[in-house]
């Protein structure tokens, strides 16, 4: 058996295995083998019982972290999304949820040292070649855990971690609006679908849920069980990838990006914890599809992209939720309302996006790989 040092971390509404770069071999193919075996992929049953993964995209992730040699940057980090069904590791995008665990991991692993109190760290994400600023409380040389922030989808309360993405436009494409338009028409199987193609921290295809016969408040399980809708959304997503310049053909589109979001007016919805969310609790309803499955909450970078889209006149989000004031938007997810913010300057340039997350180190030691 092979043992690899690793740390198991919850970041936001995701969990994953974190590695220091020097804990891993240099060859990418060997790293990918380790990631897949450690998480238990591929798994034809979709449960990853023979690994650390949880059978859904938000629980089948890895992070590789290293001290940065860049001026003014504390850490470099690379995110990997491991497909449950194939075991393929996709590096096409960043993960906002798991990004909140990078500094807590680095402090625990000795990659960083920091004094007591509120501290800000600058990270470089290699997937998008973008900076991320992380602000959190340091207690006893480690990231604070105890706090009062309740995160939809995560039981209990914990210490807040602020993620700020300066200059997030064009994380993987040519800019905030890769086509130059706040709304576009995508032709799929002879039908035309109005969408918004936006790239702020994460490339996204945004479409009204009603165009797929949905009201936007369905549970993740109900959407995933609707095979015709899931298949149609995947085709629209891949067509969006081509329109955004992310791939030459639909077949070549990455698994991770762009993500596709269903947008609908805010309305009462039954949440995953069995409580009822009122229409007044959010500004609009969203359901984000990630790796072919409906997210239980919302990807952190996706929340920030939607916050930016809400302030773009003519976008699908702005049309569904008109009259929003300020930089903050409340997104109605299956787990509850998530707030994210986007700040534009007077000239209309997107300066930064931000959101609050929580994170906690769950376990550290060695993960065993099968022979």
d(CA 337, CA 206): 18
129 and 191 housed in the same domain: no
Is 214 in the same domain as 314? yes
Residue recorded with tokens 């939809």: 152
Residues 202 and 96 grouped into a single domain: no
d(CA 28, CA 6): 17
Structure tokens at 135: 């602000």
> Can you give the residue range of the structural domain that contains 14?
2-169+358-369
The reply to whether 211 and 274 lie within a common domain is: yes
Pairing label, strands 203-208, 259-265: parallel
Q: Is residue 175 part of a domain?
A: no
**Upstream peptide bond of 42 is cis (omega within 30 degrees of 0):** yes
Split into its structural domains, the chain has a count of: 2
Whether 197 and 163 share a structural domain: no
Side-chain-side CA neighbours of 218 within 13 Å: the count stands at 21
Task: Give the pair of three-digit tokens for residue 86.
Answer: 């194939």
Q: Would residue 63 count as lying in a domain?
A: yes
Are residues 205 and 81 both part of a single domain? no
β-sheet bridge partners, residue 256: none
Same domain, 198 and 67: no
Q: Residue 86: its pLDDT value, please? A: 96
| Amino acid 323: pLDDT | 85
Looking at the domain assignment, is residue 353 inside a domain?
A: no
Inside any domain, residue 218: yes
In this prediction, residue 130 carries a pLDDT of: 97
Report yes or no on 352 lying in a domain: no
Digitized pLDDT (tens) for each residue of the chain, 371 residues in all = 899 999 999 999 999 999 999 999 999 999 999 999 999 999 999 999 999 999 999 999 999 999 999 999 999 999 999 999 999 999 999 999 999 999 999 999 999 999 999 999 999 999 999 999 999 999 999 999 999 999 999 999 999 999 999 999 999 999 999 999 999 999 999 999 999 999 999 999 999 999 999 999 999 999 999 999 999 999 999 999 999 999 999 999 999 999 999 999 999 999 999 999 999 999 999 999 999 999 999 999 999 999 999 999 999 999 999 988 889 999 999 999 999 999 999 999 999 999 999 999 999 999 999 87
CB of 85 closer than 8 Å to CB of 133: no
Q: Is residue 23 part of a domain?
A: yes
- Residue 135 has a pLDDT of 98
Residue 14: CATH number of its domain? 3.10.310.10
Q: Which helix or strand (DSSP H or E) is residue 15 part of?
A: strand 14-20
Are 293 and 287 within 8 A, CB to CB? no
Q: Indicate whether 153 and 197 sit together in one domain.
A: no
Give Rg (Cα) of the chain.
19
Is the domain of 94 the same as that of 11?
yes
Contact between 359 and 11 under an 8 Å Cβ cutoff? The reply is yes
> Nearest 10 degrees: CA dihedral of 332, 291, 129, 165?
10
Q: If you ran DSSP here, which 8-state letter would residue 166 be given?
A: E
Instruction: Note whether residue 332 is domain-resident.
Output: yes
The Cα–Cα gap between 265 and 288 comes to: 15
Residues 6+ apart with CB under 8 A from 73: 122, 123, 124, 131
Going by C-beta distance under 8 Å and a sequence separation of 6 or more, which residues neighbour residue 45? none
Tell me the H-state helices in 19-160: 28-39, 96-99, 102-109
Same domain, 13 and 150: yes
Distance from C-alpha of 25 to C-alpha of 143, rounded to nearest angstrom? 28
Residue 253 lies in a domain: yes
Cβ 310 vs Cβ 317: under 8 Å: yes
Tokens found for residue 323: 């009259």
**CA separation for the pair 300, 96 (Å, rounded):** 4
Nearest to 335 by CA among 293, 295, 291: 295
Q: Are residues 252 and 276 in the same domain?
A: yes
Q: Are residues 15 and 144 in the same domain?
A: yes
CA distance 127 to 189: 32
């Amino acid at each position: 058996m092979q043992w690899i040092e690793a740390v198991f971390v919850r970041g936001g509404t995701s969990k994953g295995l974190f590695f220091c770069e020097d804990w891993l071999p240099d060859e990418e193919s060997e790293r990918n083998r380790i990631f897949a075996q450690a998480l238990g992929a591929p798994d034809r049953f979709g449960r990853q019982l023979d690994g650390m993964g949880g059978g859904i995209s938000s629980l089948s992730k890895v992070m590789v972290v290293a001290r940065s040699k860049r001026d003014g940057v504390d850490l470099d980090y690379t995110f990997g999304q491991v497909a449950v069904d194939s075991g393929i590791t996709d590096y096409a995008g960043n993960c906002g949820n798991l990004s909140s665990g990078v500094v807590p991991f680095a402090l625990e692993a000795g990659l960083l040292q920091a004094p007591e109190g509120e501290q800000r760290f600058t990270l470089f994400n290699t997937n998008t070649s973008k900076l991320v600023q992380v602000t959190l409380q340091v207690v006893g040389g480690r990231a604070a855990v105890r706090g009062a922030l309740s995160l939809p989808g995560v039981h209990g309360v914990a210490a807040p971690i602020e993620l700020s993405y300066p200059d997030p436009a064009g994380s993987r494409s040519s800019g905030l609006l890769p086509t130059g338009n706040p709304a576009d028409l995508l032709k799929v199987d002879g039908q035309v679908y109005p969408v918004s193609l936006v790239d702020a921290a994460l490339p996204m295809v945004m479409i009204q849920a009603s165009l797929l016969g949905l009201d936007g408040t369905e549970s993740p399980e109900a959407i995933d069980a609707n095979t015709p809708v899931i298949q149609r959304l995947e085709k629209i997503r891949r067509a969006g990838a081509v329109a955004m310049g992310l791939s030459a053909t639909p077949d070549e589109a990455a698994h991770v990006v762009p993500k596709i979001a269903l947008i609908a007016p805010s309305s009462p919805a039954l949440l995953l914890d069995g409580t009822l969310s009122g229409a007044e609790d959010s500004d609009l309803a969203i359901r984000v599809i990630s790796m072919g499955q409906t997210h239980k909450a919302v990807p952190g970078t996706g929340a920030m992209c939607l916050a930016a889209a809400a302030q773009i006149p003519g976008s699908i989000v702005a049309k569904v939720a008109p009259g929003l004031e300020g930089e903050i938007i409340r997104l109605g997810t299956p787990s509850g309302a998530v707030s994210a913010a986007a700040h534009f300057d007077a000239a209309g340039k997107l300066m930064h996006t931000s959101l609050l997350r929580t994170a906690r180190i769950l376990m550290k030691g060695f993960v065993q790989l099968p022979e």
